[in-house]
Chains A and B, each alone.
Chain A
Amino acid sequence: MSTPLEHDYIGLSETSSMQRSSEKLPSSSSSSNSSTELNNNNNNNCSNKNKTCLNFKETELRLGLPGSHSPERKPPHGVSLFGKDIENNTNGFSVTPLKNIVSGAKRGFSDAIDGSSGNWGLSINGKSEADLCKGGVLYSPRGGGLDDKSKIIKEAAGVVPLSPKPTVQEKKNQVPAANEPSSAPAAKAQVVGWPPIRSFRKNTMASNLAKNSDDAEGKPGYGCLYVKVSMDGAPYLRKVDLKLYNNYMELSTALEKMFSCFTIVNSGHCDSHGFPGRDGLSESRLMDLLHGSEYVLTYEDKDADWMLVGDVPWDMFTDTCRRLRIMKGSEAIGLAPRAMEKCKNRS
């Protein structure tokens, strides 16, 4: 089994890289003993610093089997990985170890909060320390990384029920894949009849979410809409969050950057509405066209029809788009006839 790599929380990379040099983080293959020492050292360091000290050991994500953490180590709580830039494919990891860790380390966690509440300093994009310090899950990477809704629950703190024999119903230990948050139920053990929601509502919401995730692979109402982007001839697909863009031009630019290695034609000439313009063809584009290799951006809508991107208003597009495909122009005959004709007229 490969040694676990350290990973930064998405979005902390700017500050964290600055911090790294001063903090001297251990290498990834450190044993738990040395990490404990360093943990303590880091704690001491942090207690001496003020606002911008980030206790990296606290927030460091470690991967390992349940129980592989030393008791002194204060575990991160509620960790998850999203985003495109993780090198190791760490999409699958078990959530249940958290519960085991947490039950044992519950006191440790509260100590961490009490002891270092003043030291969990982070100022990224001017967000308050309190908001960012509660560890935990970072969702889709945006601008500065954390939006102001990152009120992160300390599931660590309150996980253990007080009752002597809680009625626990172990769910199958499914490992949730990071990119499909809504398709697998939580791997944590679920208590029968809790939270107190009527079965009808539970079933309805579950099927709604499952359906939407099948369609768009994004959670409705949760501020992101990931869709797959395929490009003809590329060896692998990518995913984009449509909610990150406000118009077609932004989407187009982003896709260009993403697929630039696969020689996409630069269609940077756009008209004032942000629609890829049909006029103003560059020479290179023309050349590609003549070779029949112009790429056209298409999408699959709710009815499973393949449509040309750019016809409908942006909002309607994001509502109905299920996946994107960058199609070769030669295949796109019938979808973009005007483009072809205009090009032919100019040549």
Chain B
Amino acid sequence: MIMESMRKKESPSSVVSTQFPDEVLERVFALLTSHKDRSSVSLVCKDWYNAERWSRTHVFIGNCYSVSPEILARRFPNIRSVTLKGKPRFSDFNLVPQNWGADIHAWLVAFADKYPFLEELRLKRMTVSDESLEYVAANFQNFKVLSLLSCDGFSTDGLAAIATHCKNLTELDIQENGVEDKSGSWLSCFPESFTSLEVLNFANMSAEVNFDALERLVSRCKSLKALKVNKSISLEQLQRLLVCAPQLVELGTGSFSQDLTTRHYAELENAFNNCKNIQTLSGLWEATALYLPVLYPASANLTFLNLSYAALQSGDLAKLLVHCPSLWRLWVLDTVEDKGLEAVGSYCPLLEELRVFPADPFDEEIIHGVTEEGFVAVSFGCRRLHYVLYFCRQMTNAAVATIVQNCPDFTHFRLCIMNPGQPDYVTNDPMDEAFGAVVKTCTKLRRLSVSGLLTDLTFEYIGTYAKNLETLSVAFAGSSDWGMQCVLGGCPKLRKLEIRDCPFGNKALLSGLEKYESMRSLWMSACNVTMNGCRLLAREMPRLNVEVMKEDGSDDSQADKVYVYRSVAGPRRDAPPSVLTL
């Protein structure tokens, strides 16, 4: 809207092109927060480019190797907040070698020089060492926000450094990471004079923390809005924390099963009753039917309920959901089964996002979990559903067609039929028509993950209809190169393509030559791509980095894992020996 009003001012009717003083432009641009808007603005003209770069305080880098710290610092002199993503997404599933790269340290050194007032660092899939964390604590006096997701390489020693030295810290958000959990003593490192914390998340760390230290910390941080504790915190302790911080908006409980006396149970109920601002609830480790009712009074304003670590059954879920009418985001385990999902459909009409995780993904003898029926039931009750992640063991084309008919607004459709290459279990057909229905009906679709038995037809559909698709994940699917060619040729907005164990070869790889420059990255592993194919790609497209990861004992000519990405920084110099840059 700001851009529109600015464009109006530069209407053709004015003879002399109006030049705003830079300060004004910068002032206006400072209000722009979306980095996509900022990118667009910077392309208009040189003045706007300059005004934009001077006014930008937050930068988002989706691939840390696409640009170098020097280039970044040259363009943007006033950065206060950096979001960096490193390794390819499949590193979450152990498909990327351990020492692949994406080390934050070089960036920190550059930042210490160019951005000494750096306040925020949000990292995803980066390698972060304790030295790096200590470096942050030592070099950035104004440091406020540290958020780490899917990172590895650090231990609780690094966190201790942050807690000790960052006097202005407002957010410490340690999400699912490969952190070496030596002890919980890091929490005790926050000085008694430290009161600025607003967000504290250590839910995914296992070591026991000193509860007294935690209680004192929570008491003195009056602005604390989000508190997510780990499993070592008992129900009794949780009650005491809630008494200290009834203003919490986001709460992650600890272990939710303890044999409480009647008095303690009543106190816990009371504590939850006083928390009228809770919008996000998570944790609930080992939650049982006995204690879930204490949540009921606090659930009225709940918008996000994360039960993905609580193995609830359908009845318990239903009883809880009755009290959560405002829910728009729900994560559950498939222990709730289809019956539980029926309850979701009944009680959560405002639901927009549903994620169903498998409690036991590798045990094939226990046939439980959710089926297509649960998904269908949700779709009938929750018409606003637009984000789904669904792990199941069976699905039908007909069910998916019904689902998208009920919910045509899907933007993120991630369906994982856990047995690779499994067909429609009723008709034994491939699941082509299911994903065909998805892309035909859901015109706003931005992210798609496919699974089940799929032929090239699925990819024909995707290429033909998925005009807004940005991210596509494919595994154990397709019949020939043609499938991948359809996608590369047909999806104009495609940014990330990740493929594993598919029969796509050099022909498919090389059909997307120009396309890859408009994409962030391409991943192909266990496909039919050869080294020669990759070399050809690298030769033809010098602005792409083509990296091949070889596995021990594999054929020399095969390219086991290929990672292709555009970069203005040129080939990287920190690749380990197992990664060949072509």
Q: B94: which A residues are within 8 A, CB to CB?
A: 192-193, 199
Query: Which secondary structure characterizes the binding site on chain B?
Result: loop
Are B419 and A153 in contact, with the CB atoms below 8 A? yes
- Residues facing A in B330-360 (CB within 8 A) are 333, 335-339, 357-360
- Interface check B163, CB cutoff 8 A: no
Of the candidate stretches B105-113, B307-315, B511-519, the one touching chain A is B307-315
Of the candidate stretches B52-60, B399-407, B422-430, the one touching chain A is B422-430
Distance A149 CA – B366 CA, assembled complex (angstroms): 12
Q: Which residue of A130, A153, A160, A163 is within 8 Å of B503 (Cβ)? A: A163
- Interface check B371, CB cutoff 8 A: yes
- Interface check A126, CB cutoff 8 A: no
Distance A154 CA – B452 CA, assembled complex (angstroms): 13
Are A137 and B367 in contact, with the CB atoms below 8 A? yes
Of the candidate stretches B14-22, B440-448, B523-531, B537-545, the one touching chain A is B523-531
Q: Which residue on chain B has the smallest CB distance to residue A98?
A: B364
- Residues facing A in B440-465 (CB within 8 A) are 449, 452-453
- Interface check A28, CB cutoff 8 A: no
Q: A167: which B residues are within 8 A, CB to CB?
A: 500-501, 525-526
- Interface check A78, CB cutoff 8 A: yes
Q: Known contacts being A149-B368, A167-B525, is A186 close to B363, with CB within 8 Å?
A: yes
Q: Known contacts being A137-B365, A181-B366, is A194 close to B311, with CB within 8 Å?
A: no
- Residues facing B in A325-345 (CB within 8 A) are none
Are A137 and B90 in contact, with the CB atoms below 8 A? no
- Interface check B190, CB cutoff 8 A: no
Give min CB distance, A206 to chain B, whole Å: 8
Give min CB distance, B293 to chain A, whole Å: 12
Of the candidate stretches B34-42, B71-79, B284-292, the one touching chain A is B284-292
Q: B503: which A residues are within 8 A, CB to CB?
A: 162-164
Give min CB distance, A119 to chain B, whole Å: 16
Q: A154: which B residues are within 8 A, CB to CB?
A: 394, 422, 425
Q: B357: which A residues are within 8 A, CB to CB?
A: 197, 201
Q: How many A-B residue pairs have CB under 8 A?
A: 185
Distance A193 CA – B92 CA, assembled complex (angstroms): 8
Q: B420: which A residues are within 8 A, CB to CB?
A: 158, 161-162, 166, 191, 194
Are A151 and B394 in contact, with the CB atoms below 8 A? yes
Q: Known contacts being A78-B364, A185-B362, A315-B290, is A162 close to B428, with CB within 8 Å?
A: no
Are B176 and A159 in contact, with the CB atoms below 8 A? no
- Residues facing B in A295-321 (CB within 8 A) are 301-303, 315-316, 319-320
Q: A220: which B residues are within 8 A, CB to CB?
A: 286, 311, 335
Are A221 and B92 in contact, with the CB atoms below 8 A? no
- Interface check A239, CB cutoff 8 A: no
Are B90 and A193 in contact, with the CB atoms below 8 A? yes
Q: A51: which B residues are within 8 A, CB to CB?
A: none
Are A315 and B362 in contact, with the CB atoms below 8 A? no
- Interface check A176, CB cutoff 8 A: yes
Are B428 and A110 in contact, with the CB atoms below 8 A? yes
- Interface check A179, CB cutoff 8 A: no
Q: B176: which A residues are within 8 A, CB to CB?
A: 198, 200-201
Q: B365: which A residues are within 8 A, CB to CB?
A: 78, 80, 95, 137, 176, 181, 186
Are A222 and B416 in contact, with the CB atoms below 8 A? no
Q: Which residue of A130, A165, A194, A302 is within 8 Å of B93 (Cβ)? A: A194
Give min CB distance, B250 to chain A, whole Å: 19
Q: Which residue of B204, B290, B363, B419 is within 8 Å of A200 (Cβ)? A: B204
Give min CB distance, A190 to chain B, whole Å: 6
- Residues facing A in B277-313 (CB within 8 A) are 285-286, 288-290, 308-309, 311-313
Q: Which residue on chain B has the smallest CB distance to residue A169?
A: B94
Are B419 and A158 in contact, with the CB atoms below 8 A? yes
- Residues facing B in A142-164 (CB within 8 A) are 149-155, 157-164
- Interface check B150, CB cutoff 8 A: yes
Q: Which residue of A182, A222, A319 is within 8 Å of B288 (Cβ)? A: A319
Are B453 and A162 in contact, with the CB atoms below 8 A? yes
Are B453 and A198 in contact, with the CB atoms below 8 A? no
Are B391 and A195 in contact, with the CB atoms below 8 A? yes
Q: Which residues of A contact B (CB under 8 A)?
A: 78, 80, 95, 110, 113-114, 130, 134, 136-137, 139, 149-155, 157-167, 176, 181-182, 185-186, 188, 190-202, 204-205, 208-209, 219-223, 301-303, 315-316, 319-320
- The 14 sampled A-B contact pairs (Cβ below 8 Å) are A78-B367, A152-B367, A159-B419, A162-B501, A163-B501, A164-B503, A185-B362, A196-B93, A199-B92, A208-B309, A219-B366, A220-B311, A221-B312, A319-B288
* Pairs A-B, 9 closest by C-beta atoms: A158-B422, A193-B93, A221-B335, A163-B501, A221-B311, A200-B176, A161-B420, A153-B393, A220-B311
